[in-house]
């Protein structure tokens, strides 16, 4: 009797495994139809538009405001005409460079995809393409972070605290504690 239950259990387990194995699909299902396999339509759009894509989180979440969001909140931040002019200038410059770099990244990803698709990839070409893509992505991130760094020079501490509050990062009280701790060092 115990032997029959063991055989029955093993048989059911085998069928369960076979059923699971037959229906397990890759996480990449459908992505093979993309124009550039490594980039989603949203990735391509963000790169073409010069969007931030979270590349400047290290700055944004550490009290270095971004020019786009500063402009979006210009009234609440009570920007002077000079601050607004400088912010617009930095945003335009950052955005133009981000769009330029984004388009270059798309081109390089297309080249990489094409090399694989046409079985022309070699270890040397792979290394070269990846190095170029990494360099472009590094430049793109620098472009976004640099704009945040410049905003720190344009805004007052009070405006930065207000920015953080408007963006939902910290309360005014926490920012005052941060400033007090900073001056006590």
Q: Rounded to an integer, what distance in angstroms lies between the CA atom of residue 58 and that of residue 132?
A: 24
183 vs 76, higher pLDDT:
76
Percent of the chain at pLDDT above 70?
79
Contact 149, 62 (CB under 8 A): no
User: For position 27, what pLDDT does the model report?
Assistant: 87
pTM: 0.79
**What is the per-residue pLDDT across 62-116, written as a single tens digit (0 to 9) for each?**
999 999 999 999 999 999 999 999 999 999 999 999 999 999 999 999 999 999 9
The set of residues, in sequence order, having a beta carbon less than 8 Å from that of 129 and lying 6+ positions away, is: 108, 111, 112, 115
Per-residue pLDDT reduced to its tens digit, 152-181:
999 999 999 999 999 999 754 555 555 555
- Residue 117 to residues 32, 36, 111, 114, 162: CA-CA distances in angstroms? 11, 10, 10, 5, 51
């Amino acid at each position: 009797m115990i032997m029959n239950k063991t055989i029955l259990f093993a048989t059911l387990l085998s069928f369960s495994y076979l059923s699971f194995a037959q229906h397990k699909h890759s996480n990449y299902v459908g992505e093979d139809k993309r124009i550039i396999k490594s980039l989603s339509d949203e990735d391509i759009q963000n790169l073409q538009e010069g969007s931030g894509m979270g590349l400047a989180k290290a700055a944004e979440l550490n009290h270095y405001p971004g020019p786009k969001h500063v402009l979006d909140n210009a009234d609440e931040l009570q920007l002077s005409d000079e601050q607004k002019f400088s912010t617009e200038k930095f945003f335009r410059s950052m955005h133009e460079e981000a769009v330029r770099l984004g388009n270059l990244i798309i081109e390089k990803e297309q080249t990489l995809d094409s090399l694989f698709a046409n079985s022309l990839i070699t270890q040397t070409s792979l290394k070269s393409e990846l190095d170029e893509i990494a360099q472009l992505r590094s430049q793109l991130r620098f472009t976004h972070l640099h704009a945040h760094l410049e905003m720190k020079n344009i805004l007052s501490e009070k405006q930065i605290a207000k920015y953080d509050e408007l963006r939902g990062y910290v309360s005014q009280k926490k920012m005052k504690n941060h400033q007090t701790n900073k001056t006590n060092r």
